[in-house]
Structure 1
Amino acid sequence: MRRNLFLYLALACFVGLIAIFVVDGYLGIYDTVYITTGEQSWKVEADVWQRQYPTYAPVPIYEDEEPMPVEGGKGAYYMPANREEKISFRYEVDNRLFSTYKADIKASVWHSQQKVRDLISQPISIAAFDKGQ
Structure 2
Amino acid sequence: MPRAVTLIRSASLSDVAEYAYAATAPAEARLIFLAGACPLGGDGSTVAIGDYAGQAARCVENLRTALADAGASLEDVISTRVLVASARQEDLVTSWQVVRDAFGDHDVPSTLMGVTVLGYDDQLVELEAVAAVLD
TM-score by length of 2: 0.27
Instruction: Report the structure, 1 or 2, having the larger helix content.
Output: 2
Between 1 and 2, higher relative CO (CA 8 Å, sep ≥ 6) is seen in 2
Larger Rg: 1
